[in-house]
Structure 1
Amino acid sequence: MSTVLETVGDGVVLIRVRGSLDGWDGTAELTEALAAAANGGGRLTVVDLSGVEFADSTALHALLDGRREHDDAGKRLVAAGPLSVNVRRLFEVTGTLDAFRFTADVETAIAG
């Protein structure tokens, strides 16, 4: 599991996540990256979930907390895909699909 936080220009922060996000691995890194992005100088944070093969409720909790932090800071948070079947199912089963703005890919999220 890896989480990489980078600024890609024009106030856009990109968080690239790869591997599995669960209670055992990766969620703490994602939580830290989301908090840093919410408290940083960017106007938009894009979370690239296209490389995530599996996510559980701890990952969802981290994303929901990150969304709240971004809302509180007046910043946008967008989740970019394409999502794996397992990750998409997590959002569907928990009824949280509408809690996030999803785009087909990172480029679309950055563009707008």
Structure 2
Amino acid sequence: MIGDESVVTATTREGIAVIHLRGAVDADRGPGLVEALAEAAAGGSSRTVVDLSDTSFVDSHTLHALLDAQKLHRAAGRSLVLAGPLQVGVRRLFEVTGTGSAFRMTDSLESAMTC
């Protein structure tokens, strides 16, 4: 357990919306993810980066939130980028579900900020 640290944090960095996920993110431990992604899609930034580098596990709830956010971002003319490096538990979900190709992914937050 992470204690009082939030599993989902949303900030703005260099004019880009950055949503950072930490630890194991599931329906119970990831409150605010859907809202943060929707706010980013509706916001003024042309890009949203979801930083998954500190994420050890995501469940189907999180995957659906990301897929829905991808649709919202496309409809708003904004891009959604997932930043890694992805840990095995996260990478495996994208591989097993075949959803990895639905997203632009980078190996680092820095590359996601400029791609």
TM category (shorter chain) comes to over 0.9
1:30 deviation in Å? 1.2
State the one-letter code of the partner of 1:24.
Answer: D
C-alpha separation in 2, matches of 1:73 and 1:111: 19
Q: Give the aligned length.
A: 110
Which residue of the partner structure matches residue 61 of structure 1? 64
RMSD over aligned CA atoms reads: 1.0
Decide which structure has greater helix share: 1
> Which runs of no fewer than 5 residues in structure 1 stay unpaired?
none
1:23 deviation in Å? 2.2
Residue-by-residue CA offset, 1:15-65 (whole Å, 9 max, x unaligned): 111111112220x31111100100110000000001111111111000001
C-alpha separation in 2, matches of 1:83 and 1:29: 21
Which residue of the partner structure matches residue 88 of structure 1? 91
State percent identity of aligned pairs: 52
Which residue of the partner structure matches residue 51 of structure 1? 54
Which residue of the partner structure matches residue 9 of structure 2? 4
C-alpha separation in 1, matches of 2:29 and 2:10: 17
Are 1:20 and 2:15 an aligned pair? Answer: no
Runs of 4+ in 1 over 3 A off after TM superposition: none
C-alpha separation in 2, matches of 1:75 and 1:107: 18
Residue-by-residue CA offset, 1:54-106 (whole Å, 9 max, x unaligned): 11111100000111110110000000000110100000000001000000000
Are 1:31 and 2:38 an aligned pair? Answer: no
C-alpha separation in 2, matches of 1:24 and 1:111: 32
C-alpha separation in 2, matches of 1:23 and 1:30: 9
> Which runs of no fewer than 5 residues in structure 2 stay unpaired?
1-5
TM-score, normalised via structure 2 length: 0.91
Which residue of the partner structure matches residue 3 of structure 2? none
